[in-house]
Amino acid sequence: MKIVRRISELLNRDSPLTGTVPRTGLVPTMGAFHAGHLALFAAAREENDVVVASLFVNPAQFSANEDLDRYPRDEERDAKLAEEAGVDVLFAPSAEEMYPEGYATWVDVGELGERLEGEFRPDHFRGVATVCLKLFNIVRPGRAYFGQKDAQQAAVVKQLVRDLNLGVEIRVVPTVRDPDGLALSSRNAYLSKAERETALALPRSLWAGRDAFSAGSDPVREARALMDGLDVDYLDVAELDGQKVLAAAARVGKTRLIDNVILEGETT
């Protein structure tokens, strides 16, 4: 596996003049890899000739009061896991490489970026959409892989691709959970043992909400009743790219977790 830090190294890649152009799959990440990331790598490995993973803790998608500085970082471990997962190129640029002095262009994703997560993280999706557009331009993938865990993010990226005619196929991989039900997240590392117990109320209440929906009753009311010990930012039924999900964000101590379950529609 090659580790690349400079954009120019990827932009100047030779394309073969004859024969077939390799199909490239891109997996954008912020590192601290877990089995959720590995599922994305596996999906990309299966469907493409070349797999590029990006490892970039994107400052543009964090607000000033968030966890940018303490976000878990371990490039050596990540590089090993990526290599074992069959990643060909790990693109790990610095913040200055991605946002050099004088950087000024941002993608405004409109209403979709203002709901749910967007209400609590105002510039989050502007940062996500901008970095994804930059990564798509740098890597030029045919396909890019995202997790259902961040359903609104996947919907934002699909809209970005549609609206700006990027011609990248967006693939969404089902949420990977620990055996106790908690969706894997790099932020789970912040949780103490007791907080982790409390955090289990998040998937359990979403599942109860899904059961209630199947039985014809109100998923939000059912889920809300089970969110003991969680400080809930939002809990709502949302239509995201043709899918109906029950989505929530909640804080356990200082850790903010998000999760969702599908009520109607498939992962793609």
Binding site for ligand AMP (CB under 6 A): 29-30, 36-37, 39-40, 146-147, 149-150, 173, 175-176, 183-186
Residue 217 to residue 49: CA distance in whole angstroms:
46
Nearer to ligand AMP, 107 or 176 (CB): 176
Residue 139 to residue 247: CA distance in whole angstroms:
31
Nearer to ligand AMP, 188 or 212 (CB): 188
SS3 217: coil
Smallest gap from Cβ 218 to ligand AMP, in A, equals: 27
Asked about 37 being catalytic, the answer comes back as yes
Q: Which residues contact 153 (CB under 8 A, 6 or more apart)?
A: 117, 125, 128, 146
Q: DSSP 3-state helix, strand, coil percentages of the chain (rounded to 5)?
A: 40, 20, 40
Nearer to ligand AMP, 88 or 222 (CB): 88
Catalytic: which of 37, 134, 143, 149?
37
Nearer to ligand AMP, 3 or 21 (CB): 3
Calculate the CA dihedral of residues 1, 141, 103, 71 and round it to 10 degrees.
-50
Smallest gap from Cβ 150 to ligand AMP, in A, equals: 4
Smallest gap from Cβ 13 to ligand AMP, in A, equals: 23
Residue 109 to residue 125: CA distance in whole angstroms:
7
Nearer to ligand AMP, 10 or 39 (CB): 39
Whether the CB-CB separation of 89 and 54 falls below 8 Å is answered with no
Q: Output the six-digit token pair for 260.
A: 């969702």
CB burial of residue 45 (10 Å; 0-12, 13-18, 19+): middle
Smallest gap from Cβ 137 to ligand AMP, in A, equals: 18
Smallest gap from Cβ 17 to ligand AMP, in A, equals: 34
Q: Please state the φ and ψ torsions of residue 228, each to the nearest 5 degrees.
A: -60, 130
Q: Which residues are designated catalytic? A: 37
